[in-house]
Homo-oligomer: A and B are copies of this chain.
Amino acid sequence: MLGNFTYKNATKLYFGEDSLNYLNEELPKYGKNVVLIYGGGSIKKNGVYDAVMKILADNGKDVVEDPGVMPNPTSDKLRDGVKIAREHKADLLLAVGGGSCCDYAKAVSVSVNCDEDPWEKYYVRFEEPACEIVPVGCILTMAGTGSEMNAGAVITDRATKQKTGHVFGEEVMPKFSILNPRFTMSLPKRQMVAGIYDIFNHICEQYFSGEDDNVSDDLSEALMKSVIRNSLVAIEDPEDYEARSNIMWAATWALNTLISRGKTTDWMVHMLGQAAGGYTDATHGMTLAAVSLPYYKYILPYGLQKFKRFAVEVWGICPDGKTDEELANAGLAAMEAWMKKLGVTLSLSELGVTEDMIEGIADATFILEGGYKVLTRNEVVKILKESI
């Protein structure tokens, strides 16, 4: 059954090849002072930066730039960003980039008017914002995290090697997000593929939990099938607009809270992957890929019914003549074959993880309780060793 829940998601989305034009509709809603947040500068190569700056100028905005947001935004960077936004008296934080830029913008948004250290407040003590939140808008250049329509923000503390997510309330969601699938096409293939696996795993994390017959699981299967089908087109032809547009839209719905309504969720692959990411600064989607199969193979006996359903509904495997275990395993085998076609990393060692890091990564792994098996520390170590 569907458990009790609330749902509200008021982010306005502009989707398509003409979507950047709608920035002209959004900007007049906010004051003059805009902080433009972006990453390593790829937006200066693909023309997005120039196009955005022109629209900001046309709308008479006073823009200060906050560039250099790294793939895993750090608590130090966050503190610097808060200073920039304060000094500029920011009326709008405009993130142009992938999920890291969106996450970072949201973390800044809840910290500008807050006196406490943001890492300590939101990522150690997990408190909720009590201060005024600066509005955030996103112009997305990479499909993956779903950050454009949710209230999550993952930040990494270099000192403690902790990579931690805080899912805030609906008031922290971006006010608007602009999604142009063409903007994702200049991304290197490895980044595209990491994003695709990130999307897929977001769905898995919400799907592999609970045993109810739940419309949220039907929707999850639909999104997974769409991601799989379109990813196979996109890896052959990254310029295929149909494939890239479907991937981008599926990514948004994979993590905007819809498919978790009324059910429990897992998120242990993210806990394992983020712990490894905190040690290595590796690409998020690749850390998830590296730990996924060892984790799912390990928990399969505890969630046999769902893994059977996954095999049949997502991978189209015929159940005839198969034992429950054979059927469930066939689903994971199909997933593994797809991951190999995608070209995601299937081993943590490729990401720089060495045997001597395992105890530290295990220590940094939050154990969550929503999955089919609550892991012991020994089991975490075992799964990490299988992932090496």
A interface residues with partner B (beta carbon < 8 Å) = 1-19, 22, 181, 212-215, 218-219, 221-223, 225-226, 229-230, 241-242, 245-246, 249-250, 253, 258, 261-262
A13 and B6 contact, Cβ closer than 8 Å, known pairs A246-B214, A249-B215, A262-B249: yes
Taking a contact as CB atoms under 8 Å apart, the answer to whether B7 and A15 are in contact is yes
Please give, as numbers and ranges, the residues of chain B lying within 8 Å of A262 by CB-CB distance.
Answer: 15-16, 245, 249
Q: Which residue of B has the minimal Cβ distance to A18?
A: B4
Interface centre among A10, A15, A218 (most CB of B within 10 A): A218
Taking a contact as CB atoms under 8 Å apart, the answer to whether B229 and A225 are in contact is no
Taking a contact as CB atoms under 8 Å apart, the answer to whether A212 and B242 are in contact is yes
Please give, as numbers and ranges, the residues of chain B lying within 8 Å of A10 by CB-CB distance.
Answer: 8-10
Q: Which one of B7, B213, B219 contacts A222 once the chains associate, using CB atoms below 8 Å?
A: B219
A15 and B22 contact, Cβ closer than 8 Å, known pairs A218-B226, A222-B222: no
* Complex CA–CA separation, A221 to B222 (angstroms): 7
Please give, as numbers and ranges, the residues of chain B lying within 8 Å of A218 by CB-CB distance.
Answer: 222-223, 225-226
Q: Which one of B4, B7, B19 contacts A17 once the chains associate, using CB atoms below 8 Å?
A: B4
Please give, as numbers and ranges, the residues of chain B lying within 8 Å of A229 by CB-CB distance.
Answer: 213
* Complex CA–CA separation, A223 to B225 (angstroms): 14
Please give, as numbers and ranges, the residues of chain B lying within 8 Å of A3 by CB-CB distance.
Answer: 16
* Complex CA–CA separation, A2 to B215 (angstroms): 24
Please give, as numbers and ranges, the residues of chain B lying within 8 Å of A246 by CB-CB distance.
Answer: 1-2, 213-215
Known contacts A2-B181, A249-B261; 14 further A-B pairs (Cβ under 8 A): A1-B241, A1-B246, A4-B16, A7-B12, A7-B13, A8-B10, A9-B9, A9-B10, A15-B261, A16-B262, A212-B242, A213-B242, A215-B246, A218-B222
Q: Tell me the number of copies of this protein.
A: 2
Which 6 residue pairs are nearest across A and B when measured between Cβ atoms? A4-B16, A222-B222, A10-B10, A1-B242, A218-B222, A8-B12
A13 and B8 contact, Cβ closer than 8 Å, known pairs A218-B222, A249-B262, A262-B245: yes
Taking a contact as CB atoms under 8 Å apart, the answer to whether A16 and B22 are in contact is no
Q: Which residue of B has the minimal Cβ distance to A213?
A: B242
* Complex CA–CA separation, A2 to B226 (angstroms): 13
Interface centre among A5, A14, A222 (most CB of B within 10 A): A222
* Complex CA–CA separation, A10 to B9 (angstroms): 6
A239 to chain B, nearest CB (A): 12
Please give, as numbers and ranges, the residues of chain B lying within 8 Å of A226 by CB-CB distance.
Answer: 215, 218
Please give, as numbers and ranges, the residues of chain B lying within 8 Å of A261 by CB-CB distance.
Answer: 15, 249
* Complex CA–CA separation, A212 to B17 (angstroms): 17
A333 to chain B, nearest CB (A): 22
Please give, as numbers and ranges, the residues of chain B lying within 8 Å of A17 by CB-CB distance.
Answer: 4
Taking a contact as CB atoms under 8 Å apart, the answer to whether A245 and B2 are in contact is yes
* Complex CA–CA separation, A229 to B222 (angstroms): 16
A2 and B249 contact, Cβ closer than 8 Å, known pairs A13-B8, A213-B230: yes
Taking a contact as CB atoms under 8 Å apart, the answer to whether A223 and B212 are in contact is no
* Complex CA–CA separation, A221 to B241 (angstroms): 22
Q: Which one of B9, B15, B219 contacts A2 once the chains associate, using CB atoms below 8 Å?
A: B15
Q: Which one of B5, B215, B245 contacts A223 once the chains associate, using CB atoms below 8 Å?
A: B215
List 13 A–B pairs whose Cβ atoms lie within 8 Å, in order of A's numbering. Answer: A1-B241, A2-B242, A2-B245, A6-B14, A7-B15, A212-B242, A215-B226, A215-B230, A215-B250, A219-B222, A219-B253, A245-B262, A253-B258
